[in-house]
Amino acid sequence: MSKRTVLTGARVVLPDGVREDATVTVEDRHLVDAAGPGEAAELDLGGHWIVPGFVDMHVHGGGGASFSAGTHEESLTVIDTHRRHGTTTMAASTVTGDLDDLSRQAGSLSELVEQGELAGIHFEGPFIACNRRGAHEESLLRDPDPGDVRKLLDAARGQAVMMTLAPERPGGLDSVRLLADSGVIAAVGHTDGSYESTREAIDAGATVATHLFNAMPPLGHRAPGPVTALLEDPRVTVELINDGIHLHPAALQLAFRAAGADRVAFITDAMGAAGMGDGRYPLGNLEVEVREGVARLVEGDSIAGSTLTLDRAFKRAVTVDGLPVTDAVAALSANPARLLGVADRVGSLEPGKLADLVVLDQQFEPAGVMRHGAWVVPPHTP
Q: What is the CATH number of the domain that holds 352?
A: 2.30.40.10
Same domain, 198 and 294: yes
Predicted local confidence at residue 2, as pLDDT: 65
Q: Are residues 30 and 108 in the same domain?
A: no
- pLDDT for 90-125, tens place per residue? 999 999 999 999 999 999 999 999 999 999 999 999
- CA atoms of 259 and 6, how far apart (whole Å): 37
Show binding-site residues for Zn(2+): 124, 190, 211
Q: Are residues 139 and 77 in the same domain?
A: yes
For the annotated binding site, the residues are 124, 135, 190, 211, 214-215, 222, 246, 303-305
**pLDDT for position 289:** 85
Number of domains in the chain: 2
Per-residue model confidence (pLDDT) at position 298: 82
The string of pLDDT tens digits covering residues 196-216 is 999 999 999 999 999 999 999
CA distance 148 to 165: 12
Same domain, 43 and 191: no
For residue 95, give Cα distances in angstroms to 68, 72, 89, 106.
Answer: 7, 17, 20, 11
Question: If pLDDT is split at 50, 70 and 90, which confidence band does 285 have?
Answer: confident
Active site residue 269: yes
Q: What residues make up the domain containing 225?
A: 54-340
Among residues 233, 269, 311, 356, the one annotated as catalytic is 269
pLDDT at 376: 97
pTM over 0.75: yes
Assigned domain for 364 exists: yes
pLDDT at 286: 77
313, part of any domain: yes
pLDDT of residue 170: 98
- Over residues 342-366, the mean pLDDT reads 97
Is 358 within a domain?
Answer: yes
Is the domain of 197 the same as that of 258? yes
What was the pLDDT predicted at 36? 44
Residue list for the binding site for substrate:
135, 214-215, 222, 246, 303-305
CATH number of the domain residue 153 falls in: 3.20.20.140
Query: What would the pLDDT profile of 158-171 be if each residue is shown by its tens digit?
Result: 999 999 999 999 99
**Nearest Cα to Cα of residue 152 among 201, 190, 100, 113:** 100
